[in-house]
Chain A
Amino acid sequence: MLESEYQEHNRFFLNMGPQHPSTHGVLLIVLEMEGEYVLDPQPVLGFIHRMHEKMGESRPCQSFMPNTARMDYVCALPYNHGYVSLIERKAEIEVPKRAEYIRVITSELNRIASHLLWLGAYLLDLGAFTPILYGFDDREHILDILESITGSRLTYCYYRFGGVYQDIDDTFIAATRAFVKRLRKRYSIYEKLVTKNIIFIKRTENIGIVSPDMALRYGMTGPNLRGSGIAYDVRKNEPYSVYPEFDFEIPVGEQGDCLDRYMVRVKEIEQSLRIIEQALDRLPDGPIRAKVPKNIKLTPGDCNFAVEAARGELSYYLVGDGTSTPYRLKVRVPSYSNLSCLPELGRGILLPDLVSILGSFDLVIPEIDR
């Protein structure tokens, strides 16, 4: 369109990001706006590309462990889990039962921590300043528990091929049980302050409706897909580790608006607590690490492993060539597909609604750019 026509229709371009409080990372969204309405949002990626996959292809496979935690730092243990399980599947290593249980407990704790952070950040985008601090108060307990066995608070490098690095002791079990009890008592705070609040409901109901067909077309996974009504969870549909032994449900939304995605994540916290309780009750004794050769040679051929990260289905793909360095390592991250439906979803909406939709997708940009 001509410049004069643009000004006549009151159209202009607005850059949202890369530095912006609401985009949850370094994301640039170029908005073509008409007055208050967004005509066409176009995300621009690549500001935080750190070449993790290339690092995975130039060093032996043992050296990739710290990279896995840095791709999505909010929910790092499922990333660890996916990578070690991939190599274990490739090299046919058997993991002892106790190690599998410890992996499940720590992964679920990390999932709860990720959802608590998302809740706080989402409400901060909407303008409420206190729920984020309540969420961080709960999250501190999880971080302290995980720090006592892994030694790190955010970027964990705890799983090893064939098991875990260090065993858990009685203080860990007691602290986790105390945490489970404490979090169950705190639900009423979140419910009264956030879930039932009329202002919050007005900001999220019937906004950003993702139909099941649209979700499947773009390959969305995780709570975004479950909010639209499709009950797909990697832990139930392609079970891995010891998840088949636990009894938990998959919460599903109805409409696919922001409120449904919010409710799905809140209910997932409760389901994770159930898994942790069952795992703690049935924790077996035994070794925590299998005997693994020092230099694992990856046989020629490819291999794939998918896990359920907090944001959706995360899968690793490996092509080996006989040495201990992978020939190709590919990481399929959930946030990339989740973000890709934004141009279609965001046509003709108001700017505050765009902020609300972005927050409800739970994106972490460093994992998109890797």
Chain B
Amino acid sequence: MDTISILPPELIRMVIAVVIIISFLFLNAIMMGYAERKIAGHVQRRPGPMEVGSHGILQMVVDGVKLVGKELLIPFNVDRTLFRVAPLLSFTPVILPLLVIPFSEKLQARDLNLGLLFIVTMGSVNVMALLVGGWGSNNKYSMFGAMRAVAQAIAYEIPILLSLLAVVLMCNTFSLKEIVGAQQNIWFVFLQPVAFIIYVVAGLAETNRAPFDLPEAESELTAGFHTEYSGMGFSLFFIGEYTNMFIVASVATVLFLGGWHGPHLPYGEYLGVVWFFLKVYFLLFLMIMVRWTYPRVRFDQLLNFAWKYLVPFSLVNLLITAVVVKL
């Protein structure tokens, strides 16, 4: 779609799409929060939340109400503007990539022909939110956490880019709709297994999830860069993190696992979203399991891992892909 047509039918469709996506975001955060606590419980042989609602279904709703009702503490001597802006900065750039992801054949808010590049750029903006939050807290622990988070995020962007480029080389396009369309016969995970693994691992590091969650390391530096936030600020960081995970998983699905392709369903153009969600939530389930299994990686080992293992492998993978595509 090269011409920008903001005529009323298109405009109404965009508005409806944005509203659905934002409400889906909050719903997703609630569901994932509940799923994480229940999975964490059962992995540890205990039931997880059980009190509120039958089997704890209403737990996240009640938690949300509690967080909204808390006092928004602003500590003494902080830079007020920066302190308040940080959660917003962490929440906004994660909504935008969802507008270009193809949930199904006909369910995509806007198909940019540089869609993939747009998503990766928004991921980089996320780093700024961490830095602003850490600096604005006027607390040496938060600053430590923020600096570590920035170094981590910058180091892991390179393997992400390189592994995604391998798929782009195979399809000759950045547009996500066409990438999914090119996977009709065979999913790219079978053609590019190394790139898939590198992307998932680097994506996990990018979202500051365990075992790479050093910026939030509880047992060493209290809660890292979001120590000073309470109430709604904290919950915005929290929702931002879950949405980021969702984006990483959906990009992996779109690029490697065939997007909305699956066994035939009636109204396939719309109900392809069922297969999409199944794949995305399978990846999210794996990410949650990984958090509760492994210990934390030390900071210099984390950077070592990125520079010495992920970057060389993704470079070699890219070279081999380029050679094979050329032939």
Which residues of A come within 8 Å of B, CB atoms? 12, 14, 21-22, 36, 123-130, 133-134, 137, 193, 197, 199-200, 202-203, 350-353, 355
**Chain B residue nearest in CB terms to A122:** B295
Tell me the B281-327 residues at the A interface (CB within 8 Å). 292-301
Contact A12 B297 (CB under 8 A): no
Q: Are B220 and A22 in contact (CB under 8 A)?
A: yes
Give chain B nearest CB distance to A133 CB in angstroms.
Answer: 4
- Knowing A22-B219, A199-B211, the reply to whether A129 touches B298 (Cβ < 8 A) is no
Query: Pick the contact of B293 from A12, A137, A193, A355 — CB < 8 Å?
Result: A193
A203 to chain B, nearest CB (A): 6
A352-B217, A352-B220 provided; 8 other pairs, C-beta below 8 A?
A12-B140, A14-B140, A125-B219, A126-B296, A127-B213, A199-B211, A350-B300, A352-B298
**A-facing residues in B170-198 (Cβ within 8 Å):** none
The interface residues of chain A lying within 8 Å CB-to-CB of B40 are 129
A128 to B211: give the CA distance in the assembly, Å.
Answer: 8
* 22 A-B contacts (beta carbon < 8 Å): A21-B218, A22-B219, A125-B219, A127-B213, A127-B217, A127-B294, A127-B296, A128-B293, A128-B294, A130-B43, A133-B45, A193-B293, A197-B294, A199-B294, A202-B297, A202-B298, A202-B301, A203-B295, A203-B296, A351-B220, A352-B298, A355-B220
Contacts of A14 in B (CB 8 A): 140
B299 & A127 in contact (Cβ 8 Å cutoff): no
Compute how far the CA of A130 lies from the CA of B218 in the bound complex, rounded to whole angstroms: 15
Min CB distance B195 to A, Å, is 22
How large, as a class, is the contact surface on chain B?
Answer: 20 to 34
Which chain A residues border B299 with CB–CB below 8 Å? 36, 350, 352
- State the main secondary structure of chain B at its contact with A: loop
Q: In the bound complex, how far is the Cα of B214 from the Cα of A352, in angstroms?
A: 10
- Encoded as 1 (CB less than 8 Å from any A CB) or 0, chain B from 217 to 235 comes to 1111000000000000000
Interface pair A123/B44, CB less than 8 Å apart: no
CB within 8 Å for A133 and B44 given contacts A22-B220, A199-B211, A202-B301: yes
Q: Is the CB of A127 within 8 A of B45?
A: no
- Is B210 close to A, CB under 8 A? yes
Contact in complex: A130, B220 (CB < 8 Å)? no
User: Is the C-beta of B70 less than 8 angstroms from some C-beta in chain A?
Assistant: no
Chain A nearest CB, measured from B218 CB (Å)? 7
Are the CB atoms of B219 and A199 closer together than 8 Å? no
Question: Do A128 and B44 have beta carbons less than 8 Å apart?
Answer: no
A-contact 0/1 string along B110-134, CB 8 Å cutoff? 0000000000000000000000000
List chain B residues, Cβ under 8 A from A133: 44-46
A111 to B295, CA, bound (A): 25
Closest 10 CB pairs of A and B: A127-B296, A128-B295, A126-B295, A133-B44, A127-B295, A21-B219, A352-B298, A22-B219, A125-B219, A199-B294
Smallest CB gap from A355: residue in B: B220
Q: Return the CB mask of B1-45 against A: 1 if under 8 Å, else 0.
A: 000000000000000000000000000000000000000100111
Does the CB pair B219–A353 fall under 8 Å?
Answer: no
In contact, A350 and B298 (Cβ under 8 angstroms): yes
Contact B292 A199 (CB under 8 A): no
